[in-house]
Amino acid sequence: MIRFLLVFLCGLSIGGFRPALAAPATRPNIVLIITDDQGYGDSTAYWNTDLQTPFMDEIGRAGIRFTQFRVNPLCAPTRASVMTGLYSLETGMWRGPSENVGDDAASKTKKAEKAGKRAAKKAAKTGAAPKATPADKEDDEDPTANERRIRDEFQLLPQYLKATGYATGAFGKWHLGADAKSVPNARGFDEFVGFLGGAHPYALGRNSRVQHNGKPLTDPIPPFTTDLFADRAIAFIKANRGNPFFCYVPFNAVHGPMRREGVDHDSAKPEWLEFYEKRGVPQPRRDYDAVMTHADSRIGDILKTLRELGLEKNTLVIVHSDNGGILHTYPSNNGPLRGGKGDTYEGGIRVPAMMQWPGVIPPGTVSAADAAHFDIFATILDAAGLPVPAKNGRYPVHGVSLLPLAKSRGQIPLPDRFLFWDLYGDCGALHGNWKLVGQISNHHGRFDRASDEAAKAKFELYDLQNDLGEKTDLAAKFPAIYDELKKRHLEWLRAFAK
């Protein structure tokens, strides 16, 4: 007993006092999977599509499936909101990170030239001024733009979890900064295997930019990123089966590069290409479908691992896409929704999302609640038994836990709230069934200029309950609703003006 007390007191003197933690068996594991550019119609749980996603569908049937889950219309801003519980503009990630790791000057120039040709061709046909494409928005650079990174004052989700004893691992696409203070290991992840930038080829070769905890990955690796990320996630789960863990799996499926017009090279794994060829799916859709179903099959392997280890009932699994499908380059499917990646129409921000927690979330629940990206932050903290902080840094946390709604089969509603978007020129606001959409010039993060222009711009108003495809502008018919939404959006936008 004396020896035990000495060891205990020594531990306190070295490590300092820490609050007692619950036994691992009572603290759930968290698996968060984010797909990349998967459109609303790119899942059989949401649309009559040729793209098969049986394991994502299984999660929805085993728990809850959201039909109105919204995100930002671009990769990095959504991830910033998920990780902080804030609007991406508040974090500083109002578009992709300032440093595009892996994009050399030549590839940036080539992308810019292609985007310019597309815009000019479209303008010649319509007579309208060229509008920035999603690719432009992801890749354009302005030397005078504000720095784009999650500021140091904000704590990320893994930092909250790690501080209370969770093992934390990330396996896939990061896209939240490559500077020393922004990389995964500096932001709360014990283990990271993946790439830091916005895109990476699926085939892994000599030019791979995949790393392990900040160093180039030199271990024997499978030939495809999807398998690498799933294999490492499964290994992490097995290694931490006796402790609570947070396993973050941001696949790069189905983000390009893939087969497309002018590029006749497949990116997908041969067995999945054969799967869709036998079903008569033509190219380039075949390559696209094969890439996504490959990722879905590996989600199935993660679920199988949880079952085999006896962890399924003590694990919350969440899956959602980071933005809508990209339409101008790849054959995505956004179902009945207008627009796609880069737009604040529903096709850019409404995405597949589902979660399961056997014994906690009743199976077969379908919810039309206006859930959003930053709710994932609050939901995971709530599941872990941690209080959702009132503020993260200087800003109030906007995310609310989705667990009360999920546990009650939707009987406990989300709070009434207004939601807002800005992707440096593409604007949006939502309250209930009413949706405001507008476009202004690319403001490059200068929100004083943006708010001045938005105040003068004419936006559009849609009733999503009766017009899911956002075809009929009702701004003139319902001026009071239009004025209220626009006023609130302007107030929100002006808060970021310097």
Tokens 């490959």 locate to 294
* Distance of alpha carbon 352 from alpha carbon 293, whole angstroms: 14
Spatial strand order in the sheet of 460-463 = 419-423, 426-431, 434-439, 460-463
The per-residue pLDDT for 207 is 82
The per-residue pLDDT for 104 is 36
The per-residue pLDDT for 99 is 60
**What predicted TM-score, i.e. pTM, was given to this entire model?**
0.88
Give the other-Cβ count within 10 Å of 467's Cβ.
15
The per-residue pLDDT for 147 is 77
Peptide bond into 362 cis (omega under 30): no
Upper half-sphere CA count for residue 460 (Cβ side, 13 Å):
16
* Distance of alpha carbon 306 from alpha carbon 238, whole angstroms: 9
Task: Compute CA distances 52 → 46, 130, 233, 272, 290, whole Å.
Answer: 11, 35, 23, 11, 9
DSSP class of residue 433 equals T
The per-residue pLDDT for 309 is 98
User: Could you report how far apart the first and last alpha carbons of the chain are, in Å?
Assistant: 62
The per-residue pLDDT for 220 is 78
- Taking the chain (498 residues) in runs of 10, the rounded mean pLDDT of each run is 35 33 65 98 96 98 98 97 98 83 36 42 40 47 64 97 98 96 97 96 90 91 96 98 97 96 94 98 97 98 98 98 95 97 98 98 98 98 98 97 97 97 96 97 94 97 98 98 98 92
- Domains of the chain (ranges; CATH) run 25-100+144-415 (3.40.720.10), 418-498 (3.30.1120.10)
**Residue-by-residue DSSP string for 21-33:** ---GGGS-EEEEE
The per-residue pLDDT for 26 is 75
The per-residue pLDDT for 484 is 98
The per-residue pLDDT for 118 is 44
* Distance of alpha carbon 267 from alpha carbon 257, whole angstroms: 7
**Residue-by-residue DSSP string for 313-342:** GGEEEEEEESSPPP-SSS----TT-S--TT
